A and B are shown apart, each in its own frame.
Chain A
Amino acid sequence: MRPLIQITNLKKAYGIFTVLHGIDLDIDEGEVVCVIGPSGSGKSTLIRCINRLEAFSSDSSIVVDGVTVGPGKALAKVRAEVGMVFQSFNLFPHLTVLKNVMLAPMRVRGTKSADAERKARELLARVGIAEQAEKYPGKLSGGQQQRVAIARALAMEPKVMLFDEPTSSLDPEMVGEVLDVMKRLAGTGVTMIVVTHEMGFARQVADRVIFMDGGRIIEQGTPGEIFDNPKEERTRGFLRAVLNH
């Protein structure tokens, strides 16, 4: 079976500073992949290349479900199939929660308003904030905002969901509610790539854990392999630093 996402020789540099040194990575449909690593290791840049929020070197290639991710007309099509959840939520502050979720299906897929609303309410119920639908994002807590952001991305029925440190800007007491939503999502067979510092989540939910450092994939494997039996010294060092404090 062809992998859902094929990343080949992904290179990215800011001027003379190289962020990604030629990454090769395949992601299968239904797979839940957690990407861990120190700050500046390139893990956020990696997933931001998948929907080309970051441009990358022209001799690199990313193919999502058979469509090459490149500049030009096809890009919006790929992006419509790739949902993304940001560290800083990025909800639209001038639209109600409901309208935030309805906007893209109506504008991109041409979904009728009534259908988009039904779907949006269903998704908001799924992430546990149905009763906040008429409020503006600014009135919600961080955890609630991030759950709206997840619903907004899901409304496009994407083939893959990218999470870019979704809990890193949340108050500690709100991390759990967002991770719970993500756990349930993983259980429904959605393909997910999660950049995270939540090692507990990665261990519990991931099919595969990828450890990155210095713009390279250092090691990857099942959570058991990475967390209990890391082969690389850099992986061990990182895990010691994040787990023993």
Chain B
Amino acid sequence: MNLLNTFFNIPILIETFPLLLSGLLVTLEIGITSIIVGLVGGLFLALVRLYGAGPVPFLAKIYIDIFRSIPLLVLLIVVYYALPFVGIRFSPFVSAVVALTLVSSAYTAEIFRAGIEAIPHGQFEASQALGLSSRHMMIDVILPQAIKIVIPPLTNNCINVLKDTALASVVAMPDLLKQATQAQALSANPTPLIGAALIYVALLWPLVSIVARLEKRFGGEKRA
């Protein structure tokens, strides 16, 4: 009974629920913005890494390696707390999105690259032999096939980005985790934290099971 009152205190949960929901909204805003910008940036990085001229592929590789190595929390703190010393000041929201996007685009780039490289060489040759430009070869032939391959790992990456939004709470972003810790302090009860945890699970569980299904569907597919 005591345990229930401590961790699943229904009145407190009801009282703090609007706060948690506003936090969820912020979490989704950060997450979805970072996912979209990360996808676009990742595709761009993958293409310049594979087909860029001169030093461009090498630079793209350096970028990808650096941002896959740096811990997101460290990057976030650098962006929010260190950059102001050189006059670059981002709001908590922008800091969170910048850090998440920098990292997410590096991972996404590797996913896209693997997808493009999985397309049989004959598809490139057939496109070239027909006189298709590189742009049309990518848009009409290679990417539509690569997308199918990369959807499961990309969805996985989206899950990671959504989870990592919780780190934004360290830069005073009123996201789901931050709101939950606030509510916990106000009500002197950990129930809001449990509520937040449950909301994260409710949000991501469907995505996790979708990935499993996608992997089963696309993984076993025979390719011509």
Contact = CB atoms under 8 A, between A and B. Distances in A.
Interface of A: 51, 53, 76-77, 79-84, 86, 88-94, 103-104, 107-108, 137-138, 152-153, 156
B122 interface: yes
Interface residues on B, range: 20 to 34
B224 A108 contact: no
A152 B129 CA distance: 11
Given A153-B129, A156-B130, 9 more contacts: A76-B131, A80-B131, A90-B123, A91-B126, A94-B148, A108-B133, A137-B224, A138-B222, A152-B130
Q: Which 10 A-B pairs have the closest CB atoms?
A: A80-B131, A90-B126, A90-B122, A104-B130, A93-B224, A84-B129, A79-B131, A108-B131, A107-B136, A138-B224
Specify the main secondary structure of chain B where it touches its partner: helix
Contacts of B148: 94
Nearest to B148: A94
Contacts of B126: 84, 86, 90-92
27 contacts: A77-B131, A79-B129, A80-B130, A80-B131, A81-B131, A82-B129, A83-B129, A86-B129, A88-B122, A90-B122, A90-B125, A91-B224, A92-B123, A92-B141, A93-B145, A94-B145, A103-B130, A103-B132, A107-B132, A107-B133, A107-B136, A108-B130, A108-B131, A108-B136, A152-B130, A153-B130, A156-B130
Contact of A93 (B130, B131, B223): B223
Contacts of A90: 120, 122-123, 125-126
Contacts of A89: 122
Given A79-B131, A80-B130, A107 B223 contact: no
B122 A79 contact: no
A80 to B, nearest CB: 3
A53 B125 contact: yes
Contacts of B136: 107-108
Given A93-B145, A94-B144, A86 B130 contact: no
Contacts of B133: 76, 107-108
B148 to A, nearest CB: 8
B140 interface: yes
Nearest to A92: B141
Contacts of B144: 94
A145 to B, nearest CB: 8
Nearest to B137: A107
Interface string B123-162: 1011011111100100011001100100000000000000
A211 B122 CA distance: 26
